[in-house]
Structure formats: structure tokens, C-alpha cells
Amino acid sequence: MSSNTASSSGGSGDSSAARKNSKRPKYSKFTQQELPACKPILTPGWVISTFLIVSVIFIPLGVISLFASQDVVEIVDRYDNDCIPAPARTNKVAFIQGDAPKACNRTLTVTKRMKQPIYVYYQLDNFYQNHRRYVKSRSDSQLRSPKFENQISACKPEDDAGGQPIVPCGLIAWSLFNDTYTLSRNNTPLAVNKKDIAWKSDKEHKFGNKVFPKNFQKGNLTGGATLNPDIPLSEQEDLIVWMRTAALPTFRKLYGKIETDLDNGDTIQVTLQNNYNTYSFSGKKKLVLSTTSWLGGKNDFLGIAYLTVGGICFFLALAFTIMYLVKPRRLGDPSYLSWNRNPGGGR
């Protein structure tokens, strides 16, 4: 708008009074919507190189993700069914609710050398820790400070026992996982470190070190584990882990860490107490021993996804290049304009 600028600046020669009186909008690049701007357009060159760059980045990332996943050694043992004595299997719920001994022995074989730290997880399937009723049934302020131990309104029906508030209240705490595992390798006990399995931030700020369990599991129905009333919540790491509710219905929770390497061919004997009732909703229980990589656990999905996307981009780059070579269009060719394509303004 150079002419425009010229005329408006030419007008400044007027006396200042006339200028003040004038309603002429003050000229600026902003008000005239002429701010300097970059106007990229998608040219074949740009698009093809974008696809190439994406594929060049994605394919290696996919490969290293896959490698990372392959590096992870994982032993998964589903025990929910096997740990119920065969005669009781017709009514698993009755068994688990009954008083019969729940101990169960499992043997795991290490098929590949596992470097420490080896994480011990329990995995639950079909357990909806993200169920709306469930996730709401907690009192975060109660967990932090004894002052708020009466804030239990969200915790129903696990809010109080005989008029006394339950600490920690709510369904989540109530249903705390209570299967226990005792591991031994080649008949020597294998230490499972249960310290520092929860987030540091949770231990330090979310779960108070002056809050002690009260009236826990004193209701008419016992959901899961009991807590030692003499240990403050900030030290109850199993609870802290459990209360980080899982996002998905199939999830693992950290049980502990084995801080020695396991060699190929080692057998691990697990003595577990099968207490936790997932049978009423046909949930599966698994014990998992797993190493981790820098990318996390064993999951090929991301690697495959990266390879796929990278592959598609490479293919598209190739296809567009061919299309560009075979059927190019001159950019800015006016003959493509609608009023030039069908002259005569075809009605």
C-alpha cells in the first residue's frame, strides 16, 4: 500500500489543528493489517522434504524403540486361577472369601539374564481402578493432615466405622491389594526391597507423616489389606502406590525391587498369599518380574508405530515425487483459475 502511505504522510503537512479534527484513522501497519508476515505455501519441494525428514527421524526412532523393548526381560505369571485348589474352582468367590489357607507356590524360570534392578509388579486385568465410583471415593485432604480427618463425605460407603472416621477412607484405600509374594532363588531367599516404590512427591507432600491409619478395615466388609496403625501414611508405600489409581483397566503396580541380577536358567520360587478377590468380576492376577529400559517396559507398540509412520511418510515422499515428476503443475498458473478454466462463464 505504498500509495496509501504516501497520501497519508502527505496529509501531515496540514496544520495540526485540522489534523486533530480529522477522523482519519491513524496509519499504522497494524491497523491496515499490513504487519510483516511470512506466508508459507505448500510447494511440492517443501512437502516432499517434510515427509522425508519425518521418515528419516521416525524410522531410526522406531528401531531404537523396538530395541529398547526387546532388551526388556519380563516374566509374567498368571496365578489367579492356579492358586485356587482345584476342588474350589467351581466357586472361587466363596473360596477367596472363606477361611481356607490361601498360600500358593509358584515357580518361575528366568529365560534370559536379568540385570538389576528387577521390578516386581502385580498386574490386574479387568480391574477398573478408573471406575467413576471408585476414583471419587477418596479424601485427599484427609491423607495429608490429621486436621482434616473428618473430611470423609466423598468416601461413602467406606467413610466411617461406628461413627468414627476411617483413615484412610474411601473405596480405593479399602480395596488395597493384599496378595503377598515371598521370593526365593534356588532355595535361597531373594530380597524384595519394598522401599521407595512410591513417588517421592507423594510420600513427602501428599501423604502426611502425622496421619496414622484409624478404624481401617473395621467395617462389616473387608476389602483388602489392613494397615499397621502405628506407621504413618507417608511410610505406607503399598497404599501410596495403590492410591495412584491406574489409568487403564489392565495395569501393573510396583510391588518391590530385586536388587540382584538374575541369570538365565535361574528358577524363582514364589510363595504367595492369594487373598485378593478379583474373582467376583473375573479379574486376572499376574505376578510380573521385569527389567526396564530407558523407554519403560516391554511394549513393541511404539516402535512399530514409529516404523509405520516413518514408512508411510517415506512412501508418501516417494509417491509425491513421482507425481510431481509425472504431472507437475506450474505454481501460480492463471489458467487454473476458475474464470479461466471455463470461459464464457458457463451457466
Cβ closest to other proteins, residue 17 vs residue 41: 41
Cβ closest to other proteins, residue 102 vs residue 144: 144
H or E element, residue 107? strand 103-109
Contacts of residue 126, Cβ cutoff 8 Å, sequence gap at least 6? 249, 250, 278, 281, 282, 283, 284
Q: Are 236 and 227 in contact (CB under 8 A)?
A: yes
- Distance (Å, whole) CA 342 – CA 347: 10
Q: Rounded to the nearest whole angstrom, what is the least distance from the CB of residue 97 to other proteins in the complex?
A: 8
Q: Rounded to the nearest whole angstrom, what is the least distance from the CB of residue 229 to other proteins in the complex?
A: 20
Closest to 174 measured CA to CA, from 226, 209, 211: 226
Q: Rounded to the nearest whole angstrom, what is the least distance from the CB of residue 189 to other proteins in the complex?
A: 25
Q: Rounded to the nearest whole angstrom, what is the least distance from the CB of residue 265 to other proteins in the complex?
A: 26
Cβ closest to other proteins, residue 112 vs residue 203: 203
Cβ closest to other proteins, residue 212 vs residue 306: 306
- Distance (Å, whole) CA 64 – CA 335: 49
Cβ burial, residue 142 (10 Å; 0-12/13-18/19+): buried
Q: Rounded to the nearest whole angstrom, what is the least distance from the CB of residue 220 to other proteins in the complex?
A: 4
Cβ closest to other proteins, residue 185 vs residue 318: 318
Sign of the four-CA dihedral 22, 27, 30, 31: positive
Q: Are 181 and 286 in contact (CB under 8 A)?
A: no
Cβ closest to other proteins, residue 106 vs residue 252: 252
Q: Rounded to the nearest whole angstrom, what is the least distance from the CB of residue 276 to other proteins in the complex?
A: 8
